[in-house]
Chain A
Amino acid sequence: MMVRLTIDGRQIMVDGHVNVLDAASKLGIHIPTFCHQARLSDLGACRMCLVEVEGMGKLQTACTLAVNDGMVVRTDTPRVEKARRMMLEFLLINHPLECTVCDASGECTLQDLAFKHGSAETRFKGKKRILRDHIISPLIDRNLNRCIQCKRCVRVCEEIQGVTALGMSYRGAATVVGPFMDKSLDCEYCSHCIWSCPVGAITSRAMKHKVRTWEMEKSEAICPYCSCGCTLSYNYRDNVVYRVTHAEGRGLNMGSLCSKGFFGYDVINHPDRITAPMVRDADGVLRRTTWQSALEEVARNMKRISRESGGKAVGGIASDRLTNEDLYLFQKLMRMVFSSNNVDTPSGLWSRTVVPVLEKRMGVRAATNSLDDLNYTDALLIVGCDITVANPISGLKVKQAIRRGGLVTEVNPGKTALSRLARRSLAVPVGKELALVKGLIKVILEEGLYDSETLGKYGKFSELEFSVRDKSLKEIARETDCSVDEITQTAREFAGAKKASIIFGETAVLQAGGEKVLEAVIDLLVLTGKLGQEGCGLYPILSGTNFQGALDMGVSPNWLPGHAAVSSDSERKRVEKAWNGKVPKDGGKSAYEMIQAAAAGKLKALYLAGVNPLATFPGGEDLEKALKKMEFLVVQELFLTDTAKLADVVLPATSLAEKNGTLTNVERRVQKTSKAIDGLGHSLPDWKIFSDLGVACGEEGMNYLNSSEVMDEIASVVPFYSGINHQILADNGLQWPFSRDDAREVYHEGYLGTRHLLPEGLSKDKQFFAAVPVWETHSADSKYPMTLVLGDLLFHSGSFTRYSESLNQLAAQATLLMNPQTGMGLDVQDGSSVRAVSTQGEFTVTVSYSEDIAPGMLFLPRHFKNAPVSALMIPGPDDQARTAIVHVRVVKA
């Protein structure tokens, strides 16, 4: 319902649900306020937004006053102005006037409003209230004296992050904000409280007293730490990034950030960054040199080995943290200049495990829907994924859905941050996810909850029925540690919801047979008809920042740019024509196969761009031996990592804050990230290094002026990027497929590209069920009885954030997490050290008890140096990341 009201003599039509404050802001009338923030509930705590309404005797708070038809509001009368001045006078009774040293000075609402509306004198002559304060956390600083009790931090913590770590204690003038019992802060460090504080009561300790707000320039970029692709704002001065701020209302995250995005910026200006190229000299020592001599060294050796031993003896592994432009040039360099299809990203999980199934079953090679759909989903099934860790901002969207009444069922070994909020949290042991999904299918078939349209297309579901016949629901329930009731309820909720989606995560893919779970999940979606429309779809979520972009750019042994198979002659010809060069015909080796070939002496030269295998690849000592055996090893890195120390040439690359480019996130959204500061020392953006190296090899086709030029070439080679260029991406990014014909659409407000795939449903040849049987898992080896999950922590991203001092304050050491029950069984105490032994190797680590881990399972973060997970992971023909589920034996040290 629309209503008409008058504000300051101007009429406006607004929706009946908005408040006077928002209606006024639509007219461009600014009403001062402290406690109002977009996306938060309104409270009327600060009394700053008082307005005069005709027919109402007292002044009203605009933020809590709903609009009414015929309402006449005045915001500029002397009475209102006097009320504002008095409100400020009240606030300033106790607010310390230490703007000179306050870190919020310059962006403090109280400072601004006191300057605009306040009086220069105060009539209160008493002493200011001084509250004793203490440090509540290593990264978040609280100053009680500055607090104006607007409750924004408390509300943002509860309503957006869903953590409720902050609350108000005591009453009246003694009210203070803080953690429970005023102990230390135990939360997700999402930084929302810092963002929402209108004064300097909650600030970041990472930048405390280091810089003043007005000295810094801001530049928007994309966060480098996970596949969500959040927009953030780098604040820098004198080529140093001093902090990250939330880009209010921007990007798919609407400004929200997680701990990694907000505090993880200190790797950029880390003192250990490599700032000049290094070449190993005759004495075997890495020495600094010029770019020219380093590139000549690389070009000479790579060309020589490629010529003498063939392109198969040369390989390259590039991190999925790089931009699309970097990745595209990397594979072009390897394929065209060094004649090798041996290109891969460290985790081939996406391109070799998930995508073939998606391709076979649905004909797509990415997540089908947009992350924004999660906000409004009615039922959501999360299989094998801690969404709050893998993709924290997507996790926020799930939390919003829960607040709106969405029925979220989580299927995960152990508890996550969502378990407390979700409708149902099913702690299904590793390897039993398939049984559960099949259980859901069984219920839907038995109760006839399937989609009638699907039934019309398929006629009957005999195959699917056959596949779930063998086991009764009771058996399935026993196997998966759930009750029959839980399974039936979940199935009914999912099938009955209007908008229902499935999030499919790493823990499910990591295990052997992960494809089967994915097949069953797709069966479930097809059966219930939850595909191809807004709010209904499948989100396979992995954590690598640009894993989707890496596949699109062809950093894969078997795929050329644009998902073109290397084996297809016509596709190869097309790419060769665009490049004006040759592409080798045979498929290449995966990252794991390259390491195997290196150990066997068949791979002689390896180019590692942003990859540190010694920290993340399986194999431990064997791996180190293989790398040492390498005739020529190039490492392009930010830091002198363990792997870089073995290299013959080390090339200094720049971080994401120092280069322009595009990244493709988990929902296929291509977003532009912009350079904030210049490259440190002599470091160069990755694409520039590949380009220069190509030119040093005598290939003029590798000469590019800037990354925008690379993007233009990508648009000409990758069909579904064909309309994309850096200018068109300037604002919110675009979801592919995006062709030249779509380009005119970008001028429409809110246009973001293709929001969901499969609008016409599955094509004729994809209309079948995989009907995998309920899977029998083999029991663990009695010598290695425990299942160890090597996973991620919320506060770290790969081995890269090891260099962040701030994030290390939150978690710096790996501890082996286990349920107290498991610990008692093994007779190991909380805090004691144990040896974890797998068939590959072993190391000693401290145990820490956690109720969140399911009994019989272990969890070890894979970020830290004190627990070199590489030693435990068993190399195998399965993809590298698959080895992240290891069977181990735990022995007292």
Chain B
Amino acid sequence: MGLMTNILQTDLIKGLSLTIRYFFSKPVTLRYPEVYYDLPERFRGAQILKRHEDGKERCVGCGLCAEICPSRAIAMETSEGEDHEKVVNSYVIDLGLCIYCGYCQEVCPVDAVFMGQDFELTITDPGKLKVTKEQMLTKGDNPRYDRL
């Protein structure tokens, strides 16, 4: 058996035929970063914040996301506003700490925070992993999150 295979080189032919077949078929991989993979709807990327239709932030500063976060990635500072309402002064998520579990989205009672589609988080300055409220709101303004 071994001898015949050696003489006829059938392994080589088998392998080559596979190569030749795929050479002429459609490619499986994507030409990232020129081309993007179409992410599933419930993909859990970096968080975004949504606004109401009138442009006001949805977040009321209840602090439940910060409380439920298993890796303590969320820090929130709130205070009393001019009309005695609650104002969120700063809302920072440390993406270096975040484990992308999606609990924050799950717990949010006012549908303000969502896991976004953004997964390109490579940076050169670790400080930039701390994402501010303004950055998350801008991301949330992207039309691809309109369904949320």
| Interface set of A (CB-CB < 8 Å, partner B) | 99-101, 105, 135, 205, 208-212, 214-215
Contact = CB atoms under 8 A, between A and B. Distances in A.
A209 B86 contact: yes
B70 interface: no
A209 to B, nearest CB: 4
A209 B67 contact: no
* Majority secondary structure of chain A interface residues (helix, strand, loop or mixed): loop
B80 A100 contact: no
A101 B59 CA distance: 10
A101 B67 contact: no
Contacts of B63: 212, 215
5 contacts: A99-B62, A100-B62, A101-B85, A209-B79, A209-B85
Contacts of B81: 209
B101 interface: no
A100 B78 contact: no
B133 to A, nearest CB: 16
Contacts of B85: 101, 209
Interface of B: 60-64, 66-67, 78-81, 84-87, 109-110
B80 A212 contact: no
Given A135-B84, A209-B61, A209-B87, A100 B67 contact: no
B110 A209 contact: no
Contact of A101 (B61, B66, B79): B61
Given A101-B85, A210-B79, 16 more contacts: A99-B62, A100-B62, A100-B64, A100-B110, A101-B60, A101-B61, A101-B86, A135-B84, A205-B80, A209-B78, A209-B79, A209-B87, A211-B78, A212-B63, A214-B67, A215-B63
A101 B87 contact: no
A208 B81 CA distance: 10
A299 B30 CA distance: 73
Contact of B60 (A100, A135, A208, A214): A100
Nearest to A214: B67
Contacts of A210: 78-80
B80 A208 contact: yes
A454 B61 CA distance: 70
A212 B62 contact: yes
Nearest to A205: B80
Contacts of A135: 84
A209 B80 contact: yes
A208 B78 CA distance: 9
A105 B67 CA distance: 13
Contacts of A101: 60-62, 85-86
B110 to A, nearest CB: 7
Contacts of A99: 62
Contacts, number: 35
Contacts of B66: 215
Contacts of B64: 100
* Top-6 shortest CB links A-B: A100-B62, A209-B86, A212-B63, A101-B86, A209-B80, A208-B80
Nearest to B108: A100
Nearest to A100: B62
A107 to B, nearest CB: 14
A210 B63 CA distance: 11
Nearest to A99: B62
A211 B63 CA distance: 8
B85 to A, nearest CB: 8
B60 to A, nearest CB: 5
B137 to A, nearest CB: 19
Contacts of A212: 62-63, 67
A210 B90 CA distance: 12
Contacts of B84: 135, 208
Contacts of B87: 209
A269 to B, nearest CB: 14
A210 B66 CA distance: 14
Contacts of B109: 100
Interface centre among A100, A105, A135, A211 (most CB of B within 10 A): A100
A215 B64 CA distance: 10
A101 B66 CA distance: 14
Nearest to A103: B86
Contacts of B67: 212, 214-215
Contacts of A209: 61, 78-81, 85-87
Contacts of A214: 67
A146 B61 CA distance: 19
A210 B60 CA distance: 12
Contacts of B60: 100-101
A861 B63 CA distance: 42
B118 to A, nearest CB: 27
A723 B80 CA distance: 50
B65 to A, nearest CB: 11
A209 B76 CA distance: 12
A211 B61 CA distance: 10
Nearest to B75: A238
A99 B78 CA distance: 15
A101 B79 CA distance: 11
A115 to B, nearest CB: 14
Contacts of A208: 80, 84
A211 to B, nearest CB: 8
A267 to B, nearest CB: 19
B97 to A, nearest CB: 15
Which residue of B84, B87, B110 has the most chain A CB atoms within 10 A of its CB atom? B84
Residue from A101, A205, A214 with most neighbouring chain B CB atoms (10 Å): A101
B9 to A, nearest CB: 72
User: Which one of A99, A209, A214 has the greatest number of beta carbons of chain B within 10 Å?
Assistant: A209
A316 to B, nearest CB: 42
A734 B31 CA distance: 78
Nearest to A105: B62
A635 to B, nearest CB: 34
Nearest to B78: A209
A209 B67 CA distance: 16
Q: Which of B64, B86, B87 has the most CB of A within 10 A?
A: B86
A99 B62 CA distance: 8
A99 B61 CA distance: 11
A100 B67 CA distance: 13
A239 to B, nearest CB: 14
A207 to B, nearest CB: 9
Nearest to A143: B84
Contacts of B86: 101, 209
B66 to A, nearest CB: 8
A566 B121 CA distance: 72
A3 B110 CA distance: 53
A215 B67 CA distance: 7
Contacts of B110: 100
Nearest to B59: A100
Nearest to A212: B63
A210 B89 CA distance: 10
Nearest to A101: B86
A229 to B, nearest CB: 33
A13 to B, nearest CB: 44
A575 B87 CA distance: 59
A211 B80 CA distance: 11
